[in-house]
Amino acid sequence: MITEKVLEGMFKPVQSPWKTSITKVEPNKLTTRGYKQEDLIGGISFSEMVYLLVKGNIPSEKNKKMLEAILVSFCDHGVTPPSTQSARLMASAGSPINACVAGGILAFGENHAGAIEKTMKNLQEAIKVSEVYKRSPFEAAKYIVEEHKKRGKKVPGFGHRYHTEDPRARKLLELAETYECNGKHFELAIEIEKILADKNRIKMNIDGANAAILSDMGFNWRFGCGMFIIGRIPGLLAHINEEISNEEPFRKIAQNNGFSI
């Protein structure tokens, strides 16, 4: 016979060696960052939930709108990125959805999605140094450009393979001013763009714009690629669905001397 005492034992929380301050799980109760999840569900937007989980508090109205714009800006870039191609190729091979999405995410690396973290790190470290040595934004920007030139490297966050002027970056910069998310990192990024545009007509791209804005919103540079992933997953899902729905399985992506690759 199942007594009340036995029932209590059955539903007793399992003690775990893992500790977290993010979400507390109790019988019939979930508390995230101090908020009941049933209050958060329907009470805040997805971007607010992302901000709450990562930063620990619900954002201001302006920060909420800015983060929403950032996540939307990451959504998709057609079939040009390796991540989209990887996800579609795996879908063509008949892999399950979770594997296809994982394949797309695993395609992010130094040359794809890596620029946002590099840019955030550059901007955040440059601001710290410039504050210690009393450098102006222009002086800090000039130093960054010259150092990359000496090493034969492109300044991450500037220039694009397809766009002479990335339309997403322009919109984000405008919104950053509207939502007052245009602080020191934003100013430094603008100074870098001025130098590069004057010399080589190179403009800021989406990674540069988002790196500056996220930095001014207080996000550590290590979160750069993670934020990109959150925004890009819907696009990957759409491409996986399109591949499964519209294309023949195991289709030939390219050919070389009659052999499918």
Query: Taking a C-beta distance cutoff of 8 angstroms, is the pair 76, 188 a contact?
Result: no
CA atoms within 13 A on the CB side of 107: 20
The pLDDT of residue 82 is: 93
Q: Residue 141 contacts by C-beta under 8 Å, 6 or more apart in sequence?
A: 188, 191, 192, 194, 195
The pLDDT of residue 148 is: 94
The pLDDT of residue 26 is: 94
Architecture in CATH for domain 115-216: Orthogonal Bundle (1.10)
SS (H, E, C) 83-140: HHHHHHHHHHCCCCHHHHHHHHHHCCECCEECHHHHHHHHHHHHHHHHHHCCCCHHHH
The residue behind tokens 């804005």 is: 213
Three-state secondary-structure class, residue 25 = strand
The pLDDT of residue 8 is: 58
Sites in the chain below the pLDDT cut of 70 = 1-15, 253-261
Q: What's the rounded Cα separation, in Å, for the pair 67 and 218?
A: 12
The pLDDT of residue 1 is: 55
Q: What's the rounded Cα separation, in Å, for the pair 58 and 44?
A: 9
The CATH 1.10.230.10 portion of the chain extends over 115-216
Q: Residue 50 contacts by C-beta under 8 Å, 6 or more apart in sequence?
A: 67, 71, 230
Three-state secondary-structure class, residue 153 = coil
The pLDDT of residue 6 is: 55
